[in-house]
Amino acid sequence: MALAMAFPACERATAQTPISYSAGDLHLPSTRVFALVGKTGLGHEHGVLGRLKSGRLNLGATCDAGELVFDMSSFTADTDQARRLVGLSGSSSDSTRKQVTTTMLGRDVLNVGQYPTAVFKIDSATPERPTVEGQPQRYRLSGQFTLQRTARPLSFLAEVTSKNGWNLVRGSFPLKQSEYGIKPYSKAFGAVGVADEMTVWGELWVAPATGVAGQTSAAVR
C-alpha cells in the first residue's frame, strides 16, 4: 500500500518528480551524524558533523536489520551547527575549522583517502520494553562497526518517534579511536591533544512503509 510522506528536511523540496521509498529506506539529505571529541592537556573540545553515503534500517528485524555507510569525507569540524549539536558554546574561526578538519581527514587520523567509508552492519534492531509510561519506543541496534581495517561489535539503544510521516531514530554510542587502530592526535609532546574516547550521535529519518515522498516539507527541527 502506498503511503504519502512529506520530506523530513527543514528546507522545501525542489524536485519535480516524487521520490519513492521502501520501508527501511533513509532520507539521506536529512539524516546526520555528529560527534563530540574530547580534549587532553591544553587541547580543545571539538564538534564534528557528517553524513551517510547510504543506509537502510528495518526496525523490529531480528536478523539482517540493515546497514549504515558513513561518508567519512563529509565530516567537518567545529562549524557552528556541529558545535551546537554537541553542546559546545562559542564559534571557531574559519582557519581553525579548516586546520582541524584537514588534520582529522588526513592520513594520521581518519585517512579518508584510503578509507572513504565506515560501515555499521546491523544484525538486529529489536524493541525494548518501556520502563516509563509515555516514553518514546526504544530499539536496541546490534551489529558490527568497521572503521578503517578494524571491525568490532557495537550495540546501543535508539529512540524512535514519528514525525511528518517518517520514523526519526536517535541514538548514541561511545567510540575509542585506539580500538580501531587510530592514534589520538596530539602535538607539543602531548601537551595539546584530543581524547581517545568520543561520543557519536545519529539522527536517522527512516521510511516506515513503502510510499512516495511529498513535494513540500514542514519544519520539524
Q: Under a CB-based contact definition with an 8 Å cutoff, are residues 136 and 158 in contact?
A: no
CA angle 74, 76, 95 (to 5 degrees): 135
In a domain, 9, yes or no: yes
Report the candidate in 150, 167, 147, 171 with the shortest Cα–Cα distance to residue 159.
Answer: 171
Tell me, what's the pLDDT at 215? 37
On whether residue 94 sits in a domain, the answer given is yes
Q: For the chain, how many structural domains are there in total?
A: 1
Q: Is residue 217 part of a domain?
A: no
In angstroms, the CA 205 to CA 221 distance is 12
Residues 50 and 71: beta-carbon distance below 8 Å: yes
Position 38 scores a pLDDT of: 77
Domain assignment present for 55: yes
The per-residue pLDDT for 186 is: 65
Q: Is residue 219 part of a domain?
A: no
Contact 66, 59 (CB under 8 A): no
In a domain, 53, yes or no: yes
> How far is Cα 86 from Cα 201, in angstroms, rounded to an integer?
9
Q: What is the pLDDT of residue 195?
A: 87
Contacts of 175 (CB under 8 A, 6+ apart): 35, 147, 197, 198, 199, 200
Q: What is the model's pLDDT at position 2?
A: 38
CATH of the domain at 77: 2.40.128.110
* Domain span including residue 109: 4-13+21-212
Q: Which residue has the cell 581517545?
A: 196
pLDDT confidence of residue 67: 98
The stretches of 2-156 forming alpha helices (DSSP H) are 80-85, 94-105
pLDDT at site 20: 84
Is 28 domain-assigned?
A: yes
- Encode the chain (221 residues) as per-residue pLDDT tens digits: 334 455 565 444 444 456 788 999 999 999 999 999 976 654 678 999 999 999 999 999 999 999 999 999 999 999 999 999 999 888 989 998 999 999 999 999 999 999 999 999 999 999 998 877 778 999 999 999 999 999 999 999 999 999 988 999 999 999 999 999 998 876 643 434 688 999 999 999 999 976 766 433 433 34
What pLDDT score does 132 carry? 79
Residue at 103 is within a domain: yes
Closest CA to 124 of 65, 57, 173, 171: 65
CA dist., res. 165 & res. 208, Å (int): 8
Q: Tell me, what's the pLDDT at 123?
A: 98
